[in-house]
Amino acid sequence: MSEHKIFGQDIYWANFIGLMVLTAIEVVAVGSEFSKAMTLFILVGIAIPKFIMIAAIFMHLWGDKDSKILTLTALFPTFFIIVMVLFIGLTHPEATTGLPEWCRPGYYKL
Amino acid sequence: MNKTKIHARSIIVMSILLLAMAFSPLVSSFPTGISGVKDSGCNCHGATTSESVIPTIEGLPEVYNYSETYELTVGFTGGPSTIGNINLGGFHLWASEGELASNDATVQTYNPSEVGHTEIGNDQTSWTLIWTAPASDKNIEFILHTNSVNGNAGGGAGSSGDEWNRLTAKVSAPIEVLEQANPYVVLSTLIVISAILLVITVTYIFYRTNPDSFNWKTFEPWICEWLTSTDHKKVGTLYFLAGLFFLGVGGIMALMIRIQLSVPGNDFLTQDQYNQFFTLHGTTMIFLAAMPLINGFANWMVPLQIGAPDLALPRINAMSFWLQPVGALLIFTGVFSGTGADTGWTGYAPYIVSETAHVGTTMWVAGQIMLVASSTLTGVNFLTTIAVMRAPGMGWMQMPLFTWSILVANLMLFLSIPAFGVGLVQVYLDRVIGTAFYDAGSGGDPLLWSHLFWYFGHPEVYVVIVPAFGVISEVIATSARRTVFGYRSMVYAMAGIGVVSFIVYGHHMFTSGMSPTLRFVTMLTTMLVAVPTGIKIFNWLKTMHRGSLVYRTHTLWALGFLVTFTLGGISGMFFPSMAMDLHFHESYFVVAHFHYVLVGGTVFGFFSAIYYWFPKMTGRMLDERLGVLHFLTAFISYNGVFWPMHRLGVWGMARRHHTYFISTEEAMGSLPAEAAGWNMFISVSAFLFFFSNFLLIANMIKSVIRGKKAPADPWGGWSFEWMTSSPPPTPSFGHFNHGEWINLPTLKDSNEEHIGNDPSPLVKWFQSLMVLDDENEEVNN
Amino acid sequence: MSGDYHGDDDHEHQSAWGPHDWSHGAPHNSWAPIIMSIGIGIFLYTVASAYSWGEMVDPASIPLIFLGLMISFFGMIIWWRQDASFDGIYEPRATGTPFQNIQIRKVAMWMFLMSEMMVFTSLFSTYMRYRLGLTPCVEIYESGSWIVNSQTIDSGEAVNCFLPASELIASSWFHIAPGAINTFALIISSFTIVQALRWAKKPVGSVDEEVRRKRVYRYLGSTWILAIIFLTLKMVEWFVGFYIPEIEFLGLHEHDIVSLVNEGYTIHADHYHPHHGWEDTHLAELAAANPSEFEEYFANIASIEGGYVTTDAVMMADIRVSTSTFFVTTGTHGAHVFIGIIGLTYMTWKAWTGGYTPQNAVSIEYFGLYWHFVDLIWVLVFPFFYLY
């Protein structure tokens, strides 16, 4: 089993404290008066470290001798997730409005 | 080899290819396009239906007299049409029997069952026409569509703001016509009979294998063993039987469809009934027949081929199986009472969440949710098994190609099926607790369903074909008595198909109105995905070229697969082009394509697998002569069913329409007179195809009871499954005893010179991820 | 059909109902799969019979829903009966590269988590698509077009728009409180489950067995309690609401925090009107710029005073898409927590009987992976559904 200490502290305890701190920052950030874009940026910026901390430390993806292949397994769906988000999450129906000018009625004067 | 000697085999293969090319469909299109849209591009129905438009028919009797002529006045009130508009309105009238005719220039006849307005007739809100009653007793149904025109120039040919509505009217015959054979009664009778036959067959087989102890005391443990077993061989057999049973049920559905389509204007099935039949045909064939058949062989063969004692998670494997029959019961709910799902197997929104879609739709969705769970568990199980339970010495590049195909298929399956599952849950909740995912009135987006469905649906169709590729690789290699040509490229091709299949799904949605950028992207990727498949086909041909082919039945089916799957693939190449797809979409050309790849690909691949692995699974040989007879009758009748569909599609016959009409002139929505003859030909061939497959069933039953005993390796194959007895023991390889695995095979047990492959740099990098050698010693926690 | 099905083992045919002797490997027979499948089928069928389009149409089916659940649960009990005697003697490890020596069930759990990632990606994609595709309700309100189009409480029409739950939840500290406490609860529970694993894994001899049993049982029990707290607070937030009395010495005023459902944020809300005030200075500017459009409106309903539009008219919004997305996504996450609770119930019981030793401690790790994944998803759901 991997090292249980980081900076002299038990790694799980340290991880836990770190996560709590980040959550507190998140909640305070939303309560404060930031613009929508700034709020989004902060939220994403905090979600990513939290994600990595839980995956790497609680789920033993960092430091274990099995870590490399399990991390690759965990990251394998990334491509498919990106495809789905791009194709489904970030498109909307634009049957005719999204067509280029030359493909829409009225462009060619007969 | 003597270069001047021409092998008979080469000639046969070449002539088959030439023949196939010579018979490729003559592409002649209508001047006005396949959908029959007139030169003006007029879509005679406006954008919306509206209750404010009230169509009327006057002059219809309640009961007609034979061959009498009636003058009818059709018209409408309401809608945006007002005096002073440039045009006022239009109509379209169908009569199920009798003859319609026009008596002035404002009405035109497309065919004796169909009339509409002319351009001159655009300026009125009522029209007169003539209907001649038939000379015999029929129940007549009239369908009237009227379009109320608001006279502006917006939309396609001025259709923006127009509203239309429909009306149906019935006229009875002088002598009451009784309902014809209720299709549901026919269907339910056939299904019940099939189930009873299945039970009788199973009981009979049990009797014949244990004639001395045919009593409840021996039967009860036997049947309980089957209901509770987690052994991959038994679960495989269960999948297999379920798959074959539902293949028959789906075939019955298909026959009902073909009876309805055998003549134009048929009334064996109403539109509503027809919708349910094609929905269930598609659902049954893909989810309840193809997937279980694949899983049956995967369950049986993958652990044997990799030298594993069983799958990684045996109880979950059994769970995967049992979710299927229960799900099937849910899916079929309502079909016997006329309220089965009628949305098509694709279940498009917003119809699937409308109240018009039958009650059985909710049950269809629920059953599908169970099948999604089943597939997810299957995927986890097989991926884990193949990743971790290979015998020592068997690296990734030493696995048999069938195992590779199951790996790729399961990867595709379990990564794509959650999208379908989420969509299904959304529809289920919409229909049950009233959420609004697809409710257009609240802003729901029907295209979301299409995206979620096809994100799954496209990898799904590759899931059903890639295992067939695996089977063909095995069969051709064994029959040609050499290894498959280009093992590594075969693996990369399958992996490539697996990944690219996720980014092509938009080609099912070219006509849906989705983002044009996405349409463009998926057009290119769809063209790309044909390349790895082509590589595989050439590899198979090359395998045979340098081998010496033995013609067993499984070989014949593999060769048949090569022909039909290639043809299906070629017809599929018309669809990536968006411009062509706009015309082919929803026509019989699509139907022809996918039946060529699904039946000619998957089903033929699995017939080949049956003949190849039956001796291993049951310890008995199948009768070769019956097998060849089965092949000849099935292959020929199959082509008789699906080849003419290409032509019908080009003529414009639409799929999912309960009937069609023919006329001698090119008119909107009807087909040339030959189409009727071809449809009858297809229907007859369909019956032949259906019954020819009973030869296989008879062969299997007969062989189980008194076939010749099979040796461990009847065909001279060299993968691990042939190294064990027929049938294999349980557990299949080695066993676990008090903390230790005993007697697991290692790869040295098989014939190394057929398999050896030096790892490529890519593989070496991948292997560098494995645990260091010296840590292999730590087996304890 | 496969002939001699015991190979060369001569152990007794084990019970398909459990308990199971794991020294000969995984069960060859089990009644659990078929029984659970039948239960799930009955459940789905009866739910769809009882409810239709959001209304209860057949109350007689409700007992049958419970029947389906009971049958599934009965199947689970059989599964657990076979598992209860598992003491780690049968813990197969991978033979194939590159997973060599990793426990097979750990690999299986990771594979399963891959598919779960796709489930939540689909839900998030739905949310993204709708949130980006529909106009935000706030924007429509501020543009005043609802006035011009008569989508008001008087006319009975409603505008389709997207109202994210954060408009209600992130509007005050008290509203966020349940969600924030839930986040803390899940993080703590991730911590406790890791601790349970750690204590179970401590080598024999390095710790007193009774201490080990107590520790593992308490940590697993705490995880269970925290999960229950999570679901309870979620139900409070959704359905119940809570009331905070005035506390003088803390300077706390009384607050009545209404639940989401009681505020009208429901899946059937096709005529929702906002309770929280939206900025309406923009309306005044618009009115000044387009007097003719707003004329009739101002003649009857509203007036401009001091640069602010005051009005009794209320915009009506059809927010069913927003609420459906919110409740189903967070509900799916909640369902995963619930399944975790079921698993934890079994594990806590097994720990209480002293069933976890270093030999089979890794079973806790498998559940732990699932549980951390649930926490991970919450880490994504909370900011994007509750806060943003």
Report residue B582 as tokens.
């706009």
For residue C310, is pLDDT > 80? no
Mutation pick from A1, A61, A80 vs chain B, by most beta carbons of B within 10 Å, is: A80
C10, pLDDT greater than 50:
no
Which tens digits make up the pLDDT trace of C212-253?
Answer: 999 999 999 999 999 999 999 999 999 988 888 887 787 777
Cβ B276 vs Cβ B284: under 8 Å: no
Residues 67-86 of A with CB under 8 A from B: 68-69, 72, 77, 79-80, 83-84
| Residue C315, CA atoms < 13 Å, CB-side half-sphere | 27
Q: What is the pTM of this model?
A: 0.82
Domain range list for chain C = 1-102, 105-133+164-273+314-388
Per residue in C11-40, pLDDT (tens digit) is 557 788 878 888 777 888 999 999 999 999
CA dihedral B262, B267, B272, B275 (to 10 degrees): 0
Note the pLDDT of residue A105.
78
Q: How confident is the model at residue B767 (pLDDT cuts 50, 70, 90)?
A: low
Residue B459, C-beta contacts closer than 8 angstroms, at least 6 positions apart: B412, B413, B415, B416, B498, B501, B502, B505
Section B5-33 average pLDDT: 58
Helix (H, G, I), strand (E, B) or coil at B58: strand
pLDDT of residue B669: 66
**For residues C98-112, b (16+ Cβ closer than 10 Å) or e, as one string?**
bbbbbbbbbbbbbbb
Q: Which CATH architecture has domain C105-133+164-273+314-388?
A: Up-down Bundle (1.20)
Q: What is the pLDDT of residue B11?
A: 75
Q: Which chains touch B (3 or more CB pairs under 8 A)?
A: A, C
Report which of residues B379 and B158 the model is more confident about. B379
Average pLDDT, chain C: 83
Q: Which of B416, B502, B515 sits opposite A92 (nearest CB)?
A: B515
Is residue B756 very low, low, confident or very high in pLDDT (cuts 50, 70, 90)? Answer: very low
Q: How far apart are CA C297 and CA C290, in angstroms?
A: 12
What does the alpha-carbon distance between residue B158 and residue B150 come to, in Å, rounded to a whole number? 9
Residue C9's pLDDT band, with cuts at 50, 70 and 90, is very low
Higher-pLDDT residue of B569 and C101 is B569
pLDDT of residue B271: 86
| Least confident range of B314-323, B492-501, B657-666 | B657-666
Region C37-65: mean pLDDT is 88
Is the bond preceding residue B350 a cis peptide, omega within 30 degrees? yes
For residues A47 and B337, the model is more confident at: A47
Residues B342 and B275: beta-carbon distance below 8 Å:
yes
- Do C286 and C294 touch, CB atoms closer than 8 A? yes
Write out the DSSP string of B353-396: GSTTS-THHHHHHHHHHHHHHHHHHHHHHHHHHHHH-PPTT--G
Query: Can you read off the two tokens belonging to residue B485?
Result: 């040509």
pLDDT for residue A37 is more than 50: yes
Which stretch of B379-393, B399-413, C13-27, C179-193 has the lowest confidence by average pLDDT?
Answer: C13-27
pLDDT tier, B180 (very low <50, low <70, confident <90, very high otherwise): low
Count CA within 13 A, CB hemisphere, residue C362.
18
pLDDT tens for each residue of C287-306: 667 777 666 655 555 555 55
| pLDDT > 90? residue A107 | no
Q: Is B451 a catalytic residue?
A: no
Q: Where are the domains of chain A?
A: 5-103
Residues 313 to 332 of C: which have CB under 8 A from any B CB?
Answer: 318, 320-321, 323-325, 327-328, 332
Query: Is A75 an 8 Å CB contact of chain C?
Result: no
Across B85-90, average pLDDT: 80
Residue C275 is predicted with a pLDDT of 58
Backbone angles phi, psi at C243, to 5 degrees: -125, 130
Determine which one of B92, B145, B281, B646 is catalytic: B281
**Identified catalytic residue from B237, B376, B533, B564:** B533
Nearest chain B CA: its distance from C320 CA (Å):
6
Which residues, at least 6 apart from B143, have a Cβ–Cβ distance to it below 8 Å? Answer: B93, B94, B166, B167, B168
The candidate with the shortest Cα–Cα distance to B498, out of B397, B413, B602, is B413
- Residue C7: is its pLDDT beyond 50? no
pLDDT digits (tens, 9 = 90+) for A56-88: 888 888 877 778 888 888 999 999 999 999 999
∠ CA B392-B393-B399, nearest 5°, is 100
Residue B620 is given by DSSP the state B
Work out the minimum CA distance from B302 to partner chain A, whole angstroms. 21
Closest CA to B30 of B772, B665, B725, B707: B665
d(CA A37, CA A35): 5
Concerning whether B732 is annotated as a catalytic residue, the answer is no
Angle, alpha carbons B698-B701-B702 (nearest 5°): 80
Please answer whether residues B127 and B100 qualify as being in contact, where contact means their C-beta atoms are separated by less than 8 angstroms.
Answer: no
Please tell me the distance in Å from A99's CA to the nearest CA on chain C: 17
* Cβ contact, residue pair B421, C47, below 8 Å: no
Residue range B769-779: mean pLDDT, rounded: 44
pLDDT for the residue numbered B175: 75
Contact B460, B413 (CB under 8 A): yes
Residue of A nearest to C123 (CA): A89
- Residue B228 is a catalytic residue: no
Give residue B32's pLDDT.
33
pLDDT in tens, B486-500: 899 999 999 999 999
Contact C233, C378 (CB under 8 A): no
Q: Which residues of A touch C139 (CB under 8 A)?
A: none
- Residue B773 scores a pLDDT above 50: no
Tokens of B270: 């109403």
What SS3 state is found at B310?
A: coil
Dist CA B357 CA B365 (whole Å)? 12
Q: How far apart are CA B61 and CA B98, in angstroms?
A: 13
Strands B107-111 and B48-49, how do they pair?
Answer: unpaired
In the prediction, which pLDDT does B549 show? 85
Q: What is the 3-class SS of B668-713, one letter each residue?
A: CCEECCHHHHHHHHHHHHHHHHHHHCHHHHHHHHHHHHHCCECCCC
Average pLDDT over residues B251-258: 94
Q: What whole-number distance in Å separates Cα of residue B468 and Cα of residue B465?
A: 5
Query: Is residue B435's pLDDT more than 70?
Result: yes
How far, in Å, CA of B457 to CA of B419, rounded?
10
Q: What is the pLDDT of residue B665?
A: 65
Q: Please state the separation of Cα C38 from the chain's center in Å.
A: 25
Answer whether residue B778 shows pLDDT above 50: no
Token pair belonging to C381: 């759901």
Mean pLDDT on C265-288: 67
Separation of CA A89 from chain center: 14
Structure tokens at C159: 């505008």
**Gap from A109 CA to chain C (nearest CA, Å):** 33
Lowest mean pLDDT among A72-76, B390-394, C90-94: C90-94
Name which residue leads in pLDDT, B689 or B77.
B689
Average pLDDT score over residue span C122-148: 85
pLDDT score at B35:
33
The predicted model gives C147-155 an average pLDDT of 71
Mean pLDDT of chain B: 84
Of B375, B478, B522, B526, the catalytic one is B375
3 state DSSP class of C175: helix
CA distance C297 to C288: 13
SS3 B535: helix
Q: What SS3 class is residue B728?
A: coil
C-alpha atoms less than 13 angstroms from C-alpha of B375 in its C-beta half-sphere: 33
Terminal-to-terminal C-alpha distance of chain C: 60
